[in-house]
Amino acid sequence: MSNLSKHYGPEYVRAIAPYQAGKPIAEVAREFGLDEASIVKLASNENPFGVPESARQAMAAAVAELGRYPDANGFDLKGALSRRYDVPADWITLGNGSNDILEIAAHAFVERGQSVVYSQYSFAVYALATQGVGARHIVVPARAHGHDLPAMLAAIRDDTRLVFIANPNNPTGTFIPAADIEAFLAKVPAHVVVVLDEAYNEFLAPENQFESAQWVKRYPNLLVSRTFSKAYGLAGLRVGFAIAQPALTDLMNRIRQPFNVNSLAQAAAIAALNDQAFLQRGAENNNAGYQQFVAAFDKLGLAYVPSYGNFVLVKVGDDAGAGARINLALLKQGVIVRPVGNYGLPEWLRISIGLPEENDACIEALTNALAE
């Protein structure tokens, strides 16, 4: 009895290491006595252009209806996505961010005690979603900081129900070519659901943007996950979606909260989805900013992982204290980036690509920090 009263909840919930988000600007301003306006935040892979004007207008128009519940089935947004990706509307599941999609997938497809496969150095939420349902983690060692798909295939067990793949991967920025993913999908046992998380897809060069939504037609166990948080500039609204065949979507819909995507988010997402000019501007800024950073890293003699996303992983020292030390030196100068010690990369920092002047400020602060 005394043992029981000591703790609440199951052991596997108590074992969860909470998600570490990027530090908010206001918090850094308070902690380091800085002016909020002077702070540069390149910590959460957010869009440096902020909310698209098209989405602002759509939200303003939607405010009048906020007294009512959102459309629980997201009819208009699913319709727009269905046309864009050429899949039936009932193949789409909406999420309160794509984080929600990852969680819903774990709850819908995995039972306590079964196993989930994902890669070392892949997105932190895969571990959280696995742990949250009391499943067993099978973490496959990375190859060159990216997914080793043949090793992941070999790691699948009879009790494996889910595989998470991030492409491009966060926090390393690595990319898996279409042929490798297709070869993997062709061999994965039919009882295993593959979540292909493409949160950064829109930043890929056109030749790398394969039609993963069309693969869903051939692979009944494939679920493609996308988000409006990154390229579409709507991170604060929380809206993402999954594309999968109805056998999977049907289960996801039983698990998700009925009103998981709010009305403003639905309206804004439709507007952003059709805003090609915004996406184009973002991609161009991202390419230029990436060049700015890698040129600086080369000059500073820093190793980095070539990135396909809107961020870059850079090695800021050789000792296990390097990431934390340089991060603190950057914070003191009003620059927020992301330490990745929790990913097992304590010598590295992940820097989101911002506007040219933000990148310059970060590079200057990094140069100072390394000279200290």
Ligand X SMILES: *Cc1c(COP(=O)(O)O)cnc(C)c1O
The b-or-e profile of 308-340 (16+ CB within 10 A means b, else e) is: bbbbbbbbbbeeeebbbebbebbbbbbbbbbbb
Quick one: 48 or 240, whose CB is closer to ligand X? 240
For β-strands 348-352 and 338-339, DSSP reports them as antiparallel
235: contact with ligand X by CB under 6 A: yes
93: contact with ligand X by CB under 6 A: no
Give me the amino acid identity at 156. Answer: I
**How many residues bind to ligand X according to rule CB under 6 A?**
14
* One of 98, 201, 266, 327 touching ligand X (CB under 6 A): 98
123: contact with ligand X by CB under 6 A: yes
* One of 47, 93, 99, 352 touching ligand X (CB under 6 A): 99
131: contact with ligand X by CB under 6 A: no
Taking a C-beta distance cutoff of 8 angstroms, is the pair 362, 352 a contact? no
352: contact with ligand X by CB under 6 A: no
Minimum CB separation of residue 364 from ligand X in Å reads 27
Single out the segment in contact with ligand X by CB under 6 A; choices: 21-29, 201-209, 226-234, 277-285.
Answer: 226-234
**Spatial separation of the C-alpha atoms in residues 25 and 43, rounded to whole Å:** 10
Taking a C-beta distance cutoff of 8 angstroms, is the pair 295, 312 a contact? no
Minimum CB separation of residue 171 from ligand X in Å reads 8
Minimum CB separation of residue 170 from ligand X in Å reads 3
Single out the segment in contact with ligand X by CB under 6 A; choices: 71-79, 214-222, 228-236, 353-361.
Answer: 228-236
Minimum CB separation of residue 329 from ligand X in Å reads 25
**Spatial separation of the C-alpha atoms in residues 72 and 87, rounded to whole Å:** 20
Order of all β-strands in the sheet with 115-119: 92-95, 240-243, 222-227, 193-197, 160-166, 115-119, 136-140
349: contact with ligand X by CB under 6 A: no
170: contact with ligand X by CB under 6 A: yes
Single out the segment in contact with ligand X by CB under 6 A; choices: 13-21, 95-103, 152-160, 204-212.
Answer: 95-103
Q: Kindly identify the residues of this chain, within the stretch 243-282, that bind ligand X according to CB under 6 A.
A: none
Task: Collect contacts of 306-309 with beta carbons under 8 A, ≥24 apart.
Answer: 306/173, 306/174, 307/168, 307/172, 307/173, 307/174, 308/168, 308/173, 308/174, 308/175, 308/200, 308/203, 308/204, 308/208, 309/45, 309/168, 309/169, 309/170, 309/173, 309/200, 309/203
Q: How far is CA 328 from CA 31, 110, 135, 369, in A?
A: 11, 39, 36, 9
* One of 166, 185, 270, 302 touching ligand X (CB under 6 A): 166
310: contact with ligand X by CB under 6 A: no
231: contact with ligand X by CB under 6 A: no
Quick one: 95 or 334, whose CB is closer to ligand X? 95
Instruction: Note the residues at the interface with ligand X (CB under 6 A).
Output: 45, 97-99, 123, 166, 170, 197, 199, 227, 229-230, 235, 240
